[in-house]
């Protein structure tokens, strides 16, 4: 009997890897330390019965638009997974006005014309849209495989050598100069700029323009799909694929050690907290680098450069989630259309966004944060009883350790996120939202606030509340993710693979790293391919 492939963790990357491997005939065993599967997908009636909330991640455009879904779509649908979408995926309300990014090309063209950026947007989509396959290819390519060479050749053939150099420079540009150079309207800038936050970047960070372009174009083309009934439906469907093909998944199973051969050169299995051991010559660890190398491989001799890289690995800003159960529908006073938009960013302008990110990076609470107001019922009305709705509110500009408050109102105390600090800051956020949704206090039936401590408690990989499992600035991204001395997914231990948001292609609920590794493990050798053709 062939040895099982062991997968540590059950986030989207782990489950995608397990599903792809199981369908290919590989015996799979998944261990999850929590009592429920899903990683950063946590669907619960957290406020009141009948109100379905996504406590952490919520939106699935990267998964639906990615290769894992393309391969597994039929199998997932057979197991009850249904995605809903909207033609109004995102919008913004700022001091200069409001705007909506539509998936309908004519509606979007009309909106950009209204904002005074019709020609600029058309030019951007014509230029970037013509090479969007290269952009997505860059984010979806395993840099240490032959596919990366193929992508480079394609880029050079299409763009020319000088064009490739220009494109490389463009991928490193911050969003602020690009937005200020190309778009006239402050509303257009505020509509696009916050999307870099969803990849862990601020508008002044290198590569934030590239990420803003990629996400903006992806949303314009693909919308903001969510599973009917919540992300748990995706988790359940992926788990069923694994089980239906002979695999197993065990919750409450905390892997505390990765076992290696006597010479420490190859993987030998895992040991659980309860003392059980399982042998395997292939282990996929969906963990952070610190957890993998300092905890699970604590007794393993590591190359000096790897150990040094782990020690210098940085985590990013903390997240805060606020979930509301509403007895009615939000009424946006400045633009009633926003009531039907899936995600609305609330901010003053591009400058306030920049200030808030920089403040959080330096340990300060923002005075006027950028607020992500998700309205899941606009896409999936089943998330709340008839006549009711919910809000999914995310804050991404929070210090992991608090040094001070830009508004001078909240005492940082010892720097930790205690209940007093968390609730005081949540009140500031709710007051800022209420400026735009005056009826919000009167229709709020229940509220749940999750701070950095609560978020990390739900998912060990979200260290200090970092929703992206590691700082995503350029030196810890793309070919340098997860570590400068341990890039890619193959570790220095034969048979041990590193997947998850801490690895390339990074966070975003796309399942990319799990898919890449699973395809590598099921790839036929050249000889096998030749024999198969005969």
The secondary element (H helix, E strand) that includes residue 373 is strand 371-374
**Its pTM surpasses 0.85:** yes
The mean pLDDT value for 465-491 works out to 89
For 267-320, the pLDDT digits (tens) are 999 999 999 999 999 999 999 999 999 999 998 989 999 999 999 999 999 999
The secondary element (H helix, E strand) that includes residue 343 is strand 343-346
Rounded CA gap, 239 and 248, in Å? 8
Q: Please report the pLDDT score of residue 282 as a whole number.
A: 98
CA trace torsion 273, 278, 281, 283 (10° rounding): -40
Residue among 88, 115, 110 at smallest CA distance from 100: 88
Three-state secondary-structure class, residue 66: coil
* 144-158, 353-367, 475-489: which is most confident: 353-367
**Which residues, in sequence order, are bridge partners of residue 284?**
7, 497
Q: Where are the domains of the chain?
A: 5-41+60-83+231-313+469-533, 90-221, 317-458
Q: Please report the pLDDT score of residue 153 as a whole number.
A: 67
List Cβ neighbours of 88 (8 Å cut-off, separation of 6 or more). 100, 102, 103, 337, 340, 341, 342, 378
Class of domain 5-41+60-83+231-313+469-533: alpha beta
Please, what is the end-to-end C-alpha distance for the chain in angstroms?
A: 28
- Residue with the two structure tokens 């403040």: 359
For 40-63, the pLDDT digits (tens) are 999 999 999 999 999 999 999 999
List Cβ neighbours of 399 (8 Å cut-off, separation of 6 or more). 317, 318, 359, 360, 361, 362, 363, 364, 365
pLDDT beyond 70 at 136: no
For 318-330, the pLDDT digits (tens) are 999 999 999 999 9
One-letter-per-residue 3-state SS of 352-372: HHHHHHHHHHCCEECCCCCEE
Rounded CA gap, 320 and 315, in Å? 15
């Amino acid at each position: 009997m062939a040895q099982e492939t062991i997968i540590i963790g059950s986030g989207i990357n782990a489950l995608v890897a397990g599903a792809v491997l199981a369908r290919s005939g590989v015996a799979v065993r998944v261990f999850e330390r929590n009592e429920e599967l899903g990683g950063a997908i946590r669907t619960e009636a957290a406020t009141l019965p009948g109100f379905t909330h996504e406590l952490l991640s919520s939106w699935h455009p990267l998964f639906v638009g990615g290769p894992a879904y393309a391969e597994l779509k039929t199998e997932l649908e057979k197991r009850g997974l249904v995605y809903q979408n909207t033609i109004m995926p995102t919008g913004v309300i700022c001091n200069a006005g409001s705007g909506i990014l539509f998936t309908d090309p004519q509606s979007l063209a009309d909106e950009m014309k209204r904002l005074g950026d019709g020609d600029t947007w058309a030019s951007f989509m014509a230029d970037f849209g013509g090479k969007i396959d290269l952009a997505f290819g860059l984010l979806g390519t395993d840099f240490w495989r032959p596919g990366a060479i193929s992508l480079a050749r394609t880029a050079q053939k299409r763009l020319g050598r000088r064009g490739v150099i220009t494109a490389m420079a463009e991928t490193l540009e911050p969003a602020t100069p690009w937005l200020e150079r190309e778009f006239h309207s402050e509303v257009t800038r505020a509509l696009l700029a916050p999307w870099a936050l969803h990849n862990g970047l601020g508008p002044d960070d290198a590569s934030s323009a590239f990420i803003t372009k990629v996400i903006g174009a992806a949303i314009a083309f693909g919308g903001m799909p969510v599973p009917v009934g919540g992300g748990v439906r995706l988790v359940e469907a992926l788990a069923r694929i694994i089980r239906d093909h002979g695999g197993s998944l065990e919750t409450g199973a905390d892997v505390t050690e990765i076992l290696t051969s006597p010479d420490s050169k190859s993987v030998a299995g895992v040991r659980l907290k309860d003392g059980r051991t399982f042998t395997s010559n292939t282990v996929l660890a969906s963990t952070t680098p610190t957890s993998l190398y300092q905890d699970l491989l604590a007794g393993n001799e590591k190359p000096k450069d790897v150990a040094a890289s782990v020690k210098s690995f940085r985590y990013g800003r903390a997240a805060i989630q606020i979930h509301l159960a509403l007895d009615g529908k939000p009424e946006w006073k400045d633009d009633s259309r926003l009531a039907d938009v899936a995600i609305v960013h609330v901010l003053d302008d591009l400058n306030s966004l920049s200030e808030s990110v920089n403040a959080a990076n330096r340990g300060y609470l923002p005075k006027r944060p950028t607020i992500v107001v998700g309205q899941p019922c606009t896409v999936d009305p089943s998330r709340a009883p008839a006549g009711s709705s919910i809000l999914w509110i995310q804050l991404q500009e929070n210090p992991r350790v608090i040094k001070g408050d830009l508004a001078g109102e909240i005492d940082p105390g010892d720097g930790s996120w205690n209940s007093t600090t968390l609730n005081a800051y949540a009140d500031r956020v709710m007051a800022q939202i209420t400026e735009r949704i005056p009826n919000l206090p009167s229709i709020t039936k229940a509220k749940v606030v999750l701070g950095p401590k609560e978020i990390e408690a739900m998912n060990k990989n979200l260290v200090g509340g970092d929703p992206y499992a590691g700082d995503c600035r350029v030196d810890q991204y793309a070919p340098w993710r997860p570590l400068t001395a341990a890039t890619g997914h193959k570790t220095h231990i034969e048979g041990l693979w590193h997947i998850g948001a801490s690895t390339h292609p990074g966070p975003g609920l796309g399942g990319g790293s799990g898919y890449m590794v699973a395809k590598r493990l099921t790839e036929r050798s050249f000889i096998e391919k030749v024999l198969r053709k005969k």
